[in-house]
Amino acid sequence: MNSPYELVLRLAGQKPVRKQYKTGPAAALKYAHGWLTKHQTKPGKSATLYSIHSATQRFEHAEEIPLPEKSSVDFYASQPWKKLAHDAIANRRKQCLQDGSVFSCALCFKAFGPGVQAHADHIKPRSLYPDLALDMSNIQILCSDCNLGKSNRDATDWR
Ligand SMILES: [Zn+2]
C-alpha cells in the first residue's frame, strides 16, 4: 500500500476496484457512500477502507458510513443562528444589568469580560433536537471553555 488510505470496492464476480487517498478518510468515505448507494441492489458488494492510521473499516450499506457533518459548519455560519446567538447574549447581559447580577457563565459562573467570552449554547443539542436549534428558550450562555467541553450527549439545563 503506497498511500495512507486505500479504498477497495468489491462486487460479486468482479475484480475489486482500488482507489488511493493521500490526505484523509473523508473523501474515501464519501466516495464509498456514493458507490454503495449506486450499487445498493447488487449482490456481494462491499467497500473496505484500509489505513495505516486506523483499523480497517468495512461497509456493505451506505447508511453504515459515518459522513462528516458538513451541515454543522453551515448552521453556525448561518444568519438566523448568528442573530439568535447575538440576541441571546445581549438579552442575558441586559437582564444582568437590570437585576444587578454578574453577567457570567451559566455553568461555571465565571464572569464574562476580557479573556472570558460569552457563547450561546444549545441546552438540548442540535443533533438530537433539530427543531429547537433556533428556539431562544433552548439557549444558555456559557463561557468558551464550558461550551467547547460540552458533548452532544449532554442535555443538561445548567441555568
Ligand atoms: Zn463556564
pLDDT at 151: 47
Residue located via cell numbers 450561546: 120
Element housing 80 (H / E):
helix 79-99
pLDDT (0 to 100) of residue 130: 87
Same domain, 112 and 81: yes
Cα separation, 128 vs 27, whole angstroms: 26
The pTM is what? 0.52
Ligand 1 centre to CA of 105 (Å) is: 5
pLDDT (0 to 100) of residue 153: 46
One-letter amino acid for residue 145 of the chain? D
Shared domain for 54 and 86, answered yes or no, is no
Antiparallel, parallel or unpaired: β 5-10 and 46-51: antiparallel
What are 91-128's pLDDT values in tens digits? 999 999 999 999 999 999 999 999 899 999 999 998 88
59 and 82 together in one domain: no
What is d(CA 20, CA 17) in angstroms, rounded to the nearest whole number? 10
How far is Cα 81 from Cα 130, in angstroms, rounded to an integer?
13
Do 94 and 47 belong to one domain?
no
Among 16, 42, 64, the domain boundary falls at: 64
Backbone Cα Rg of the chain: 22
Q: Cα(26) to centroid of ligand 1, in Å? A: 33
- 78, 142: one domain: yes
Instruction: Flag residues of the chain having pLDDT under 70.
Output: 1-2, 68-73, 150-159
Number of domains into which the chain is organized? 2
User: CA nearest 75: which of 26, 143, 150, 127?
Assistant: 127
Residue 28 is part of which domain span?
5-64
Distance 119 CA to ligand 1 centre (A): 9
pLDDT, residue 112, reads: 96
Query: 80 C-alpha to center of ligand 1: Å?
Result: 24
Nine cell digits for residue 114: 476580557
